[in-house]
Each structure stands twice: as structure tokens, then as C-alpha cells.
Amino acid sequence: MKNILKKLNITRLRPAPEIVLYICLTGAFILFVAALAVPVPAWVKKAVFGASILLSMYDMILEAILRLIKKRSLDKNLLFLIGAVTAFCIGKAGAGAAAVLMLRVGTLLREIITEKITTHIKSRLDRRPETANAVINGAVTRVPAGRVKVGDIVSVAPGEILAFDGIVISGESALDTSAFTGDARLVPVTDGSLVTSGSVNNTGVLNVRVTMAFDEAFVAQAAAIVEEASERKAKPERRLARVTGLITPAVVVLAVLIGLAVPLIGGLPITPWLYRALTLLFVASGTVYSALVSITYFAGIARALQSGILFKGHSILDAVAHTTSVIFDKTGVLTTGRFQVTDIHAYEISGERLFLLAAYAEMFSNHPIARSIAAAAGTEPDESKASNYRELPGRGVEVQIGSVTVSAGNERMMAEVGITPDLSQAPASVVYIAVNGKYAGRILLRDDLKPDSQKAIADIKALGIDRIALFTGDKKEAAADVAVSLGIRELHAECLPDEKEKRLKSLREMQLEGDKLVFVGDGVADAALFQMADIAVTLGGFGRLEVFEPADVVVMTDEAGKIPVAITLARETAKTVSKSIIALLGVKSLLLLTVLIGIVPVWLAVFIDAAACIFAVFNAARAFGLHLNDLRALLFSKKSRETVDDEDF
């Protein structure tokens, strides 16, 4: 049979069309009511109840048979089928039909609520219009967004959402990016400004040259990450899946013992015990707890995104909830990364000449200090004059400018050249300059703290996280000044890249099992550290897809203050998951106990179990921040519903 299925390419039963399911459930309900209300012979009544059962669970029967043949494993559908057959055989066809109907309607209602919530969440993530105003030969034409190509020009009116990433070629406006960044402040844009999809144009008309196709735009890719995040399951989900896999065969064994062994050994009537056994099967098969937990994680991820924080998966969200150590890179994370020149000390050449040579040396480097010096030079260095450029990570750079060799960097760089500079003791970053192997001077720079850095560290401490450390390649005096200002006790300064890796490895090894270490830095420059950390976090991710790949958590804005917010949201979601699991398992255990005692009829047990399922879905909606009015509006909206499968979460 398995080979036949393989030849027919039947790997999984696809859900029946929605209308077929509704027709079958309606027909099953009519038959059930007719069997109760119409006085007919007992055998006819039993046959009608049987027909009601078959109509209610026709697709579940096929799915159970297919799974048994292909995987040789029991699932909830098979328990359901065994329970229904048992009810029919012991003369409890009416009770069995009632339980089947109630369970199917409860499951269907849970799926409808779940789909409404997830659709609502997804619509908030990618709200872009499906059409755009393309500028063709000077005229504005409304076209499907998918037809717009890279290089085309689109016109965006006030109040419209940008469907594309692009560059403003004409117009001035202010953009609302709060849907992704959580920041209500408007962003001014004008000619030459880069704009990101998902932003709302507030004031003037903008003409934008498209730089990314509709399906490849920032918002599309970010929304896809959230939608696919369920593939990275959290530990509670994996544990629950393993437990569920063990429960099904255990319940079958227990039902056999209760329904057959107990009455036979004890000399008791067999029918009441078989009734208890079938009730046990119905209760055990009625709730898909792993799906409900997954919904909660999904809702938590989407809620975090409203605050400008993207968790790349359920497992990441769960890991952040168990954070015990936070390690920060300094430059551009806790500081602005925009260095200001505070002093220049030149020897045997003028300060202007020293600064220009430094600008030439740094013009090819992406380090924040290098970019700041190049920007402050006031003149654009001529790249054609430079050659033999080399960069020594953690040390500095060297370049040939005509007949002059310029070396710029820290003390280690000077040691490479064979120079001992006049060391600066000032609490500032310093770049030493050597020309043709001779010391030429130094440039002092200051990197100011971000406005929210002090509060960010204080908030992290308030969460009970004691280990907060600062990693930097900057000189000790400058790094110590930052650490003292922020109240960070653990400082590792003047670190080369490999030294940072060793220190991070050491900190990880000091953690207890289950504790998680977060590293906050630049996803490009700190790629090795991102790989080593339990959770890698990068800031300023809005519109920068290059930082998405290495990071586990992307903060859309450049705010360090979002780190404690991320930890708080993760803990709240994890707490909701724990409460849901405890509550559901408590209800399930209580139901099983009442079933064993024999005080709860099968239909009531199934009703309570289905109600617990629906309550858990509403609880998941709370993790996203949806309230009762929001849920009421969602449930009674007229949008079409797609079939939701438990395995899709």
C-alpha cells in the first residue's frame, strides 16, 4: 500500500475545500438533530448517528489511515476514529456523534480565530499597496506594483505607503517609519535621500527611483523572515512535541486497560468502562497544544516588531528571555560612532598637512574613526594618487601617496613601523601618524555617548542582569571614560579581533546551563563574535538588509535602549507560553481524572477541552497586544479565510 501511495505521489492529504467542510458539518448537525428529535426505530437512529459521525470526520479518517500506512504511527486523528467506533459499538452512538460534532466545531472555530489573528499580524508587517503610480513619459499611470522594475520612477502622494526601496529624485516630505521602527518622529527627506518601503509619506509629493524590485524590497524580506520564523522552534515547543508524541500511544494503552482489562479483571460491567475509555480517547485527541504555543511565539515576534525589534525565530525569542549576560561593542553601539576631532599634535609638518595625510590614509577604511577623519578633512582626497593600500585589523592602515608612505593607527600600528609615539593620556581616541617611517603626530577624537545609552544600561540592570561588559579596540583611557559614565564595571579595551573572541568564549564558558549571552555589535565588523554569542543583536537595521543575515535580533533604530525592551518582550512572551502550557495541561489532567472516575460525560469533556483551546488562542493574541475589541472586530470581519493546518505553525 505504501508503494502504491508513493507511485501515486500521495505524500500528504490536502485539506478539503472550505465549502465542502462546511457542508459536511452542516449535514452532520442536521442528521444529529433529526436522530434526536424524530421518533424512529433504534437501529435507524443508530445508523443516522453513524452517518453524522462519518460526515463530521471524513477528512480526519483519511488523514489517519494515510499516516498509519506511510509513517506507521498513531496520531490524534486515529484516537478520534477509535473513540468514535467504540462509541458506536457500545450503543453510545448519540454521545459519540455529539462529541465528534463538538470537537470538530471547536477545532474549526480555533482555526478561524487563529487565521484571523495571524492574517491581522501579517497585514501590519507588510502594508504596502499592490499598485503604484509609475511615471511613464512624464505621465503618472497606476500599474500593478509587481510590474515596476529597478530604475523606474514612481510618484508617491501624501498619505501613501512607499511600496519600494529607492532614492528621491525630486520633492520634499517627511516620512513616518513607525510601523517598523516604533519611533513616531518623522524623517525628513529631499533630493538624493534614500527611502525604504513601508514608510508613510506625510506631506509633499515624492518622485522615487526604484532600487529594489517589489518582492525584494526591505519590507517584503523582513515580513518573510517573520512569517518563516516558526521554522526555528523554541525549546518549549520541541519539548511539547516530544511529549505529545509519547502521549498518543500511552493513551491508547491506557484506554485498552480501562476499557477491557479493568472490567475483565474486576468482574465489572464492560460497557461503562468502555465509555470511559472512549471519553479518554476523545479528550486526549482534542487539543493541539504545540500549535497554540507556536501561535503565542508568533504573536510575540510580531508585537516586538511594532516596537522596532525583529526576532528571527521562536527559538531566538525564547533564548532572549533567558538572557543573563549582555556584552556591548562600544563604537556605534553605546556611542554615536561619529567622532569629533578635538586636538591635533603635529611634528615637523603643519597640522593641516598632517590632517590631509591622515584623510588620505583613512579614505578606504570603513571604521567609524576613519570615516570621521575623512569627512572632517574638508577636501575630497584624490584616490588616483593612492596605491598599495593595506589594512591591519585592530591596528590601523597604510597607504602610498606618490612617493610618501603614510601609516595611521594605534600604538600597535606604530610598533609595526618601528616607532614609539608620544602616548596620549587624554580620555579620547587617538590616531598616530607616521610618514615614511618617521613619527609625524597624532589626532585626538571624541565619540559622544548616545542619548539613551545610560538609561539602556540602567534598564538592563533593573531586569536583574548583573553581567554587563564592554568590548572595544579603543585605547583604555577613552574606553574607561565611557564605561564609568555608563556604570559598566567590566571593561575589555585595546582588544584585537582574536582577543575579543577569546574573551567572549571565556565569558560563555562561565555561564550556567540554560543561561544565554547576548552580544550587541555590528553584524559586518563583528561577524566572528556574532557566530560565537548565544544571541547576536545589531542596531540600526531599518533599510539595511546586509545586517539581517548575521544577526539573531535586529533593532530597526539606532537605539541601545531597545535592548532592555527586547528582553522584556521576550520574557513576557515566554511567561505567556508557560502560563498557557500549565493551564492547558491542568485542564487536560483534570478532565482525564474526571473521566477515569466516570463523573463527566464525553460531550462535556470535549466541550471543556475545546473551550480551553480557544481560550489559549485568545491568550496568544494578548501576547501581540490585541484586546477584546480588536478580537471582536477581527472575528466579525468579512475577509475570506484560508484553511489553517496545525503543522503550519
The set of catalytic residues is 329
Q: In a 10 Å sphere around its CB, with 0-12 CB exposed, 13-18 middle and 19+ buried, how is residue 87 labelled?
A: buried
Going through 177-288 in order, the beta strands assigned E by DSSP cover: 187-189, 194-195, 200-201, 206-210
What strand order describes the sheet that includes 386-392? 340-346, 438-446, 429-435, 404-409, 396-401, 386-392
The DSSP call for residue 463 is T
Q: Which three cell numbers stand for residue 461?
A: 540592570
Q: List C-alpha distances in Å: 151 to 148, 173, 211, 296.
A: 9, 21, 6, 41
The secondary structure of 300-342, three-state, reads HHHHHHHCCEEECCHHHHHHHCCEEEEEEECCCCCECCCCEEE
Per-position DSSP letters for 473-488, written without gaps between them: SS-HHHHHHHHHHHT-
Identity of residue 510 = M
- 648: CB partners within 8 A, 6+ apart: 230
Euclidean distance between CA atoms 468 and 206, whole angstroms: 44
Alpha helices by DSSP H, listed for 389-517, are 411-417, 453-462, 476-486, 497-509
C-alpha 108: how far from chain center: 27
The DSSP call for residue 449 is B
User: Residue 164: which of 150, 175, 143 has the closest Cα?
Assistant: 150
Euclidean distance between CA atoms 271 and 89, whole angstroms: 10
Euclidean distance between CA atoms 455 and 565, whole angstroms: 11
Whether residue 88 contacts residue 50, with contact meaning beta carbons closer than 8 Å, is answered with yes
